[in-house]
Structure 1
Amino acid sequence: MPNAVPMQGARGLPQPQAMNPGLPSVGGLSAGQPLQLSLAPELQAAARSAHRHLLDDGTALYLLAFDTAQFDPGAFAAMAIARPDSIARSVRKRQAEFLFGRLAARLALQEVLGPAQAQADIAIGATRAPCWPAGSLGSISHCEDYAAAIAMAAGTRHGVGIDLERPITPAARAALLSIAIDADEAARLAKAADAQWPQDLLLTALFSAKESLFKAAYSAVGRYFDFSAARLCGIDLARQCLHLRLTETLCAQFVAGQVCEVGFARLPPDLVLTHYAW
């Protein structure tokens, strides 16, 4: 990461530089502000870039890019990020995405809880979901050598989910249509597609939107549910919002017929992001 400054003390939280006001908004997501992070030497070779984006409601989203080949597992201790046994036994890629995901979450939590409380560990829960510190809720997503996180104060929302995806390839389209998107949904996307959002990008966005909805709703639903539980019923390209109608009652807060609006956006260099909060 260019110009990264060695951190002062093992538990020092990376400090982002000041945001520039008035950033242009792109599809409900501000253009990313580059950050300079103060990192331990063990992490500097693997860290490629860091950006802070704003959702249309002002919530900050942190996106970190990293190089798995340069990742040093010693960065866990150097950055004072707990490494669960299941992660310690995993391959280098999984360890890298876990650490950078937790690092992105720390940055997001700093805005919600302050620097001291943002240092709290985010453990892996019984259902593999992150356990957020008291007073907060959030979501983490990984895609190849990228990790993103968002955090909110508890009480402002009940749940939030984000998801990062690479655009699907033509070769992967059939598999996606067989497991996550039905023919009617695909036809709606084909009709709505334009030069900025061609069909395969919209297919990616819809798949990702269902993932974000699942993450946000899981704490209330308490069980896994299928992609068919939410079907596309509308597309607003101007607002970059997908409307998903629930086909079944999942819990008291998510009932059949309810429409959930999931935001979507493109992130450079070639990522699709979706986000949903309720």
Structure 2
Amino acid sequence: MNEPLYFQKYFTDYVFEHAQKLELMQDCVCYQLDLEHIDVHLFKNLTPPKYLEQAVSTRLSEFYSGRILIQAILMQYYEVYEGVTSLSQRLPQWTPPFRGSISHSKNQIVVAVSASTAYLGIDIEHWVSEALIAEGQHLILNHQDYKIWDEIKSELSFQQFLTLVFSIKESLYKAVYPEVKHYIDFLDAAITEISLPNRCVKLKFSNEIQNKFQLVQEYEGYWEIQEDYVLTWVYKTNQK
């Protein structure tokens, strides 16, 4: 039974008031929330879904803040008064024509909601650690990604590049998940083109993955770099 969880107006007003609107995409509503500005005691009387019964307070704060912000956006921009949070399923449950995406890293949460996109994914990542650079880069970057790195290594540090690729592939996988509903390895997608001035990339899945899930030939991704994190998104409006 996919019973929805609906948050009262008190919560949506509070979270929405503390969020900042981002002008990132055409036909999408995007907001960012700094959890340092949220009172963690606000959610203490809420009963978490079963899949979060053992979660620590910081995880619950991330969960509630992001989901409440989504509900607030649906109410404020689309006059939709229903919850996308399920008591039994971890992922948000979107009703067509809506699509959305949510991401968190440390104390930052970003969400994107749209009623007119063919696909949509957003991600936020703080700079990857030295350990991941040393031990995990080969789990993220494939041969084609390394070729792109050779082209731009005078413009970005390797830490920035690895974080960017990790994040934009996360955005890509979120964008296609509603159709795929399956895990895809980081090495099964590659950046084929990159424009640093325009902060955009083109991505392709391997032929095997593309054919297996009937995915489109090419995806476009975008990014913004802040002082200690990168924000990425992959989307296409139905008007394009």
Per the TM superposition, whether the score is higher than 0.5 is: yes
CA distance in 2, matches of 1:229, 1:271: 24
Question: Structure 2 residue aligned with 1:224, among 183, 202, 218?
Answer: 183
| Amino acid aligned to 1:85 | K
Residue 145 of structure 1: aligned partner: 107
CA distance in 1, matches of 2:189, 2:148: 15
Of stretches 64-73 and 204-213 in structure 1, the one that deviates more from structure 2 is: 64-73
CA distance in 2, matches of 1:194, 1:123: 46
- The Cα of 1:106 is off from its aligned counterpart by 2.3
CA contact (8 A) 1:189 1:202 kept: yes
Residue 89 of structure 1: aligned partner: 54
CA contact (8 A) 2:49 2:88 kept: no
Q: Note the alpha carbon deviations across 1:114-134, whole angstroms, 9 max, x for none.
A: 2xx2452422664x3211245
Identity rate, percent? 25
TM-aligned CA distance change 1:74 to 1:211, over 3 Å? closer
CA contact (8 A) 2:99 2:120 kept: yes
Of stretches 100-109 and 117-126 in structure 1, the one that deviates more from structure 2 is: 117-126
Task: Please give the TM-score of this superposition, normalised by the length of structure 1.
Answer: 0.71
TM-aligned CA distance change 1:235 to 1:91, over 3 Å? same
Q: Note the alpha carbon deviations across 1:187-235, whole angstroms, 9 max, x for none.
A: 422431455x433212111111111111110111121111122112111
CA distance in 2, matches of 1:226, 1:187: 19
- The Cα of 1:275 is off from its aligned counterpart by 0.8
- The Cα of 1:65 is off from its aligned counterpart by 0.8
Residue 127 of structure 2: aligned partner: 167
CA distance in 2, matches of 1:56, 1:121: 21
- The Cα of 1:162 is off from its aligned counterpart by 0.8
Task: Please give the TM-score of this superposition, normalised by the length of structure 2.
Answer: 0.81
Structure with the larger helix share: 2
Task: Show structure 1 runs of 5+ residues with no match.
Answer: 1-8, 17-35, 38-48
Q: How many pairs were matched up? A: 227
Map of 1:191-230 to 2, 5 A cutoff?
191-195=151-155, 197-230=156-189
Q: Does 1:136 align with 2:105?
A: no
Task: Show structure 2 runs of 5+ residues with no match.
Answer: 1-6
| Amino acid aligned to 2:215 | F
- The Cα of 1:101 is off from its aligned counterpart by 0.9
CA distance in 1, matches of 2:64, 2:157: 33
3-state SS of 1:234 partner = strand
**Which structure is richer in relative contact order (CA contacts within 8 A, separation 6 or more)?**
2
- The Cα of 1:146 is off from its aligned counterpart by 1.4
3-state SS of 1:55 partner = coil
TM-aligned CA distance change 1:218 to 1:251, over 3 Å? farther
CA contact (8 A) 2:51 2:88 kept: no
3-state SS of 1:263 partner = strand
Map of 1:1-278 to 2, 5 A cutoff?
10-12=8-10, 13-14=12-13, 37=17, 50-57=19-26, 59-67=28-36, 71-72=40-41, 74-75=43-44, 77=46, 83-114=48-79, 117-123=80-86, 126=89, 128-153=90-115, 156-195=116-155, 197-247=156-206, 248=208, 249=210, 251=212, 253-254=214-215, 258-267=217-226, 269-278=227-236
- The Cα of 1:90 is off from its aligned counterpart by 0.8
TM-aligned CA distance change 1:235 to 1:251, over 3 Å? same
CA distance in 2, matches of 1:160, 1:59: 9
CA contact (8 A) 1:108 1:149 kept: no
TM-aligned CA distance change 1:60 to 1:69, over 3 Å? closer
Q: What's the Cα RMSD here?
A: 2.9
CA contact (8 A) 1:167 1:204 kept: yes
CA distance in 2, matches of 1:96, 1:15: 13
